[in-house]
Structure 1
């Protein structure tokens, strides 16, 4: 089949790769000048199956109330005259129910583990280098009450097959000696040796290059403006190309992987995704003293920050700001990140000129992404991966390729849509092939007055 993938972040690029490996003709439409230029550009770098506990849980809900109005709070909710924001908040409250937290965690763990295995297989196959380290993720706590509460979550993760093991404060320092300056504050932690870290931007751009060499057509500088539909069929994708010309693209199936921007694109079709942008921050510092910088990827529970060593750089990312689609940097939040990193690793980096960045994470209230079919025969979703886009990217891409091809993915995950592809795009394509009526890539130029 001829497939259009909308978006070239890690999820869209992985989708294109696996669709091409399945034998499809694939074209990717991306508004930026290259792959991984937005949310997949500067994240925390963790492949973290162990970080599967969703933001929507009773403990975080209590903290959100205390954090209201604090510019440097780990999770900042800025009320706006925005219907979607308030609908999202109400759904978030529902997902904080213990029964839903447990269900959501199972979904996240299943997809994240499937994705990590897919990433490892892809890495062996392609030899892509992206400053990756296989040294695990160490989650440390500076509050005894939070540490005590965390142990039930760690136990549930172990039940689900994720080896997140509780460790003492002394063991935290043994695993990561660079934390020695904070030993008096640390009360304990948990460690998942099977987790990884790496630079998502390096990975995605390298994968896009290999996908292009394999025949995927990346159309950069192309902004998707709307989807055209007739009944239950998508009849075209309207876009503006790099030369400023309006075009219509035709294909047998369309995969929407546009992160936070998926929701406004799909709303005119009557598909209302409960998806809201969560602005996350990162700071990148050149490492000055390698012995003083962490080599194990870290999660600082108290400040909701993650630390990953990317070659000769230290990437620190986290916090979340629910404030619409703005990407402006808040100096207070940026300064809070550097202040915390300096306190933990005073001699590790050059802190004089940090590279700050912000990206819009596509958050669902449950942290469970939308992957699967829609009521339109040719339209598929692969969006809403929230803070785990890097962790879930390869698995989500592999899964959507299976669904588009009419097969059930080998992961226990509740894909959206009641019907699988054999009743829709794949079966229709086979019928057209038998009739000798296979749609071709279609584009025509149009001028909007």
Structure 2
């Protein structure tokens, strides 16, 4: 069998992982995986530096890990960026040690990449790590993205040049080369699910005949399949993306609930919605809105539209002079003083008596009341007015309310003016309000 060194060179070259002149930043713990990766880089004369985090979780053992890394940096004559990262005190409620440690070390690595202009971070994840990740995702429930395991590279920027090699390959290389490394005793505990998968499940699969070659082939097939599937999902004819908005038109295509969930999951990947919310979107009828921490989904019989919450917030604006124009979200509004028109008809404009400045533009507020034009001066709650209009839930907070300085509602734009601000027979100049709203289901 060819040496790990030769296979490493071929893998890096075939996958075009990094250039030979790039000075890489290697994340090194002192364990056998990262120690072997440092040795492979040195064998290929690849310039690199080391980055290490000491969490001080295992006392003297953690310090010995750091001393080994210092020795390696000296032996390879490469820079070392080491940081002591103690636990927060007191520990916050619901503290997850593994997530905390991962976040802290990647924050440390990113800072070094930026400060020293290293083009890439390299980590020593290998084929067994990939299998454990697949099984971990499978236990929790996952799609194709979870099944294809650890990506070879990410936009961090990060590459994992040992994903082709098994743990057995790595340990054999370390023993053959007489390398020294540290064993983290916490890797043997069964307290963590990943360790239970490693020590209980993976050996059974190996005993059943799972080979490294078949495992590598499986990950290659899954990655290739994902590439083609992602292209199909990204270019699906029912989907339009524009200015942070994702719209899936329902009337044009006959999508099953399962297919619709797949589209929603793909195009809403970074929007914060849960799997249950995707199911609710796909099965909803009528007019419904669902919120994630950062986005809102609007569901109508025609389309599902996902958009950032900030695009749905009306600004509180003071208007000190006219004409004035405003753009917010998918709407444009213009206020101007015009001569009294001969006709008050117009689908995109409304007219009212010219109130004194300043005017104020805002969204609805609790307890708002006004006297809708045409109701003989009777007052009505804005809340009830919206119900009568059958406005979808997301439109109620985005409907502009124009008030005068005293707080009286001048108009609910673009639906109705207040009776008190109706144009009188002696009004020569009036306030014209033009309002145009683009369709939430944009055309291709």
Higher relative contact order (CA 8 A, sep 6+): 1
> Of the two, which has the highest radius of gyration?
2
- Asked if Structure 1 and Structure 2 have the same fold, meaning a TM-score greater than 0.5 normalized by the shorter chain, the answer is no
> What is the TM-score normalised by the length of structure 1?
0.21
Instruction: Answer 1 or 2: which has greater strand percent.
Output: 1
